[in-house]
Structure 1
Amino acid sequence: MIDVPGGPVTLNDRRTRSSWTVEVAPHLLAAHPLTQADHARTTGTEGGGRLPAHSLSWWDAVHYCNALSLREGFAPAYHLHDAGDDVPGGGITWDRDADGYRLPTEAEWEHACRAGTTGPRYGPLDDIAWHRDNSEERIHEVATRRPNPWGLYDMLGNIWEWCWDLYDPEVYGSYRVLKGGGWYDPHWSCRTSVRRRSHPTLRIEDVGLRLARTPRPQP
């Protein structure tokens, strides 16, 4: 896990032509997307290696976060309720005081991806990301491209990553935010500001997750 410093980040939505600024608190973020080996180790399923764990729904991601928290002795970040998947919130609440594993917020993700840079990407695309023009139309092992200035790999390209946030509940209900671009996406999708949406129950072959944590306050 990488210590990500706090700071402001401005998010943009191309569809609505809107922007908003969020003050991000310091947090921990995994240096690379969750691997198939780590996913299998926690869930007891088959699979392994350093390819990103993919075809995971948002619900799968949330359940995985709680399972890993319990395994490692942290307080689970999410509480599950008897609500349907098609309502805003999706039947899950986030305990923001918990120190367990969780999904990053969209603001946390974008702030970490930028790592103090101001351009559309934190480096030349071929150096930092697997995308349509260099991936040979397949997924690749994590951390094989150059990291950003804060030591985070694959923030762009290879797989899209689930965020905690609802995309636009008034229009899309329980759809959640995806960030980062994937191995089959063209160059214009692999930019820090690009946001995509998907229903929390869908499993898509180019979608995975990156773990975040809120550090326990020091006494």
Structure 2
Amino acid sequence: MKTLIISGILIGLVARLAAQPTIFTNTIGMEFVRIQPGSMVVGRFQPPYPKPSQSEEAAKKNGVQWTKVDYQLAENLVNQDARPGFDVKISKPFYIGKFEVTQGQWKRVMGTNPSTFQGDRVTDDADQHPVEQVSWQDTQKFLAKLNALDKEHHYRLPTEFEWEYAARAGADDDIPWKTIWASAQMGSPTTAKVGQKTPNAWGLYDTLGNVWEWVQDYYNEKTFADPTPTRSGTQHVLKGASFVGDVKNATYMTHAAGPGNGWDVGFRVVMEAKQ
């Protein structure tokens, strides 16, 4: 009898978890995508280096004569900078914003709009552009008010690892430049409406480009994140690059720090999944 009862409880639990929506829209119109647990390797870096068979023709065109010593030096320098990375496990599901927080959403929560690119600065609906010109401390004020408005859920910034896991959408390697150009809002004089480019494999838009995005973690003053995030610091981490960025930093691997330019810095929100 006890076995039957336990089995029934487990079946009910599985059914409830399966019934949770993949996409959830809260009371102020913010859409969230459910991200399932998983793992990834963070900080793996293997820069390319020229090999004799691949670069002889290019060297001749440039009038350069590379020796075996040159090739060996290039390989040594690459091996010196290469990093194996480290494993990160995301143990709990969570919901993350399908889009960056927009100016319209910020106004509904805060009653003001700090953004630079609004009104006559853009030709289309500024409410659909990401909010920018917000500090990390500003995001905390927004989250406090959002949590007060919606007591059914808990909202916060993503951790750096949650952000990168969601942005990768299951990818093991760094994102190809061709995919960056298809998915990232870059090379424009202003921000763009959210959701105008191709989403990633899990349905998230603008994780690269449009605006840099604040995350919860402090910056560790290093090029790459540490396996255990630092618990103190003077700045916080920014991810994803902005509309004035390029393919060199529009990658989920980029580990940058605020405050940045201000007018190209925004954020997206995590809504914690109910257990």
TM over 0.5: yes
Q: Counterparts of 1:108-147 in structure 2 under 5 Å? A: 108-121=162-175, 124-132=179-187, 135=188, 137-147=189-199
The Cα shift of 1:16 comes to 10
> Larger radius of gyration, structure 1 or 2?
2
Q: 1:203 to 1:40 in 2, by over 3 A?
A: farther
* Unaligned 5+ runs, structure 1: 75-98
Residue 9 of structure 1 contacts residue 110 of structure 1 at CA under 8 Å; is this kept in 2? no
SS across alignment from 2:127 = coil
Q: Specify which of 188, 203, 210 is matched with residue 151 of structure 1.
A: 203
Q: Counterparts of 1:1-219 in structure 2 under 5 Å? A: 1-12=32-43, 19-24=85-90, 25-46=92-113, 49-74=127-152, 99-121=153-175, 124-132=179-187, 135=188, 137-168=189-220, 173-199=233-259, 204-217=262-275
SS across alignment from 1:126 = helix
* Unaligned 5+ runs, structure 2: 1-31, 46-80, 119-125, 222-229
> Aligned residue pairs: how many?
187
Amino acid at match of 2:180: L
SS across alignment from 1:156 = coil
Residue 132 of structure 2 contacts residue 211 of structure 2 at CA under 8 Å; is this kept in 1? yes
Residue 40 of structure 2 contacts residue 172 of structure 2 at CA under 8 Å; is this kept in 1? no
CA deviation digits over 1:158-204, x for unaligned, max 9?
A: 1110011111177x8231111001000121110111110125xx771
SS across alignment from 1:189 = coil
Residue 219 of structure 2 contacts residue 257 of structure 2 at CA under 8 Å; is this kept in 1? yes
Residue 181 of structure 2 contacts residue 247 of structure 2 at CA under 8 Å; is this kept in 1? no
Q: 1:214 to 1:70 in 2, by over 3 A?
A: same
Q: 1:55 to 1:203 in 2, by over 3 A?
A: farther
Residue 9 of structure 1 contacts residue 107 of structure 1 at CA under 8 Å; is this kept in 2? no
Q: 1:138 to 1:115 in 2, by over 3 A?
A: same
RMSD: 2.4
Residue 95 of structure 2 contacts residue 272 of structure 2 at CA under 8 Å; is this kept in 1? yes
Where does residue 92 of structure 1 map in the other structure?
none
Residue 208 of structure 2 contacts residue 250 of structure 2 at CA under 8 Å; is this kept in 1? yes
Identify, as 1 or 2, the structure richer in helix: 2
Identity of aligned residues (%): 29
Amino acid at match of 1:131: M
